């Protein structure tokens, strides 16, 4: 069986703390999709530490939220809000070490909701942290009506979703 090809997703948000392409204080996460799952690779800088050389748990949670969010956005082609998420911290994660993340949908709960999982792995491929979240899905019109994004941002985002 041939593995599905991974393709990079365009970075469309400049300032998001997690995925913003131009945010000098952010994580600058980028994503790839094979149509069934998404993945991301990054090395967390020391400025995001908690204890001494360990990545702060809040930063790991942000990375997991972002991984699940883009998984939901890309695989459902909808705008999303995180309704809730649970995180399990299984192994300490060190700053300055290469990490990989993956995300996938476990259940399409309804037309408007999806359950998504994300994992953070270390260089050995061991899962260091994982999350499960519930995501509410919105059409562009519904999201626009919530006043979260300007009209032109909505259209740029919608064009980059699939
Ligand atoms: C580039 C950017 C990527 C960034 C990714 C970051 C991801 C995030 O962290 S998002 C930020 C954190 N999350 C939030 O701020 C969400 C705040 N919470 C909320 O707005 C609400 O609680 C929300 C929308 C999640 C759930 O709303 P609530 O009414 O409690 O939902 P719920 O009772 O479960 O569902 C009610 C129904 O109304 C729908 N609904 C809720 N609000 C709306 C709305 N404004 N418009 C349309 N439908 C809505 C739900 O989909 C659901 O539909 P159905 O009955 O068919 O299942």
pLDDT at 25: 96
pLDDT at 152: 87
Counted domains in the chain: 1
56 found inside a domain: yes
pLDDT tens, position by position, for the chain (162 residues)? 557 899 999 999 999 999 999 999 999 999 999 999 999 999 999 999 999 999 999 999 999 999 999 999 999 999 999 999 999 999 999 999 999 999 999 999 999 999 999 999 999 999 999 999 999 999 999 999 999 998 888 998 998 887
pLDDT at 76: 97
- The CA distance from 58 to 122, in Å, is 17
2 found inside a domain: no
pLDDT at 160: 85
pLDDT at 2: 57
CA of 13 to the centre of ligand 1 (A): 20
Mutate to test the pocket of ligand 1, among 29, 30, 76, 136 (most ligand atoms within 8 A of CB): 136
Angle 110-120-24 from CA coordinates, rounded to 5°: 100
Residue 89 domain boundaries: 7-160
47 found inside a domain: yes
Provide the whole-model pTM: 0.94
38 found inside a domain: yes
pLDDT at 45: 96
Q: How far is CA 74 from CA 3, 36, 120, 149, 161, in A?
A: 19, 10, 19, 18, 5
CA of 19 to the centre of ligand 1 (A): 21
1 found inside a domain: no
Task: Output the six-digit token pair for 36.
Answer: 């069934």
Q: For ligand 1, atom 35, name the residue with the nearest CA.
A: 136
Q: Evaluate: CB of 134 within 6 angstroms of ligand 1.
A: no
- Do 116 and 103 touch, CB atoms closer than 8 A? yes
Task: Assign residue 23 the CATH number of its domain.
Answer: 3.10.129.10
Q: Evaluate: CB of 83 within 6 angstroms of ligand 1.
A: yes
127 found inside a domain: yes
Q: Evaluate: CB of 154 within 6 angstroms of ligand 1.
A: no
153 found inside a domain: yes
24 found inside a domain: yes
């Amino acid at each position: 069986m041939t593995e599905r090809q991974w393709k990079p997703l365009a970075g469309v948000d400049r300032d998001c703390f997690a995925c913003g392409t131009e945010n000098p204080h952010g994580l600058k996460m980028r994503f790839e999709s094979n149509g069934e799952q998404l993945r991301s690779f990054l090395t967390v800088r020391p400025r995001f530490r908690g204890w001494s050389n360990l990545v702060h748990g809040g930063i790991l949670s942000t990375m997991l939220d972002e991984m699940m969010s883009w998984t939901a956005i890309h695989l459902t082609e909808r705008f999303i809000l995180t309704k809730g998420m649970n995180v399990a911290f299984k192994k300490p994660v060190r700053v300055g070490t290469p990490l990989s993340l993956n995300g996938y949908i476990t259940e399409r709960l309804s037309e408007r909701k999806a359950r998504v999982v994300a994992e953070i792995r270390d260089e050995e491929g061991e899962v260091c942290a994982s999350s499960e979240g519930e995501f509410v899905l919105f059409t562009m019109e519904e999201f626009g009506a919530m006043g979260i994004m300007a009209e032109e941002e909505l259209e740029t985002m919608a064009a980059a979703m699939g």
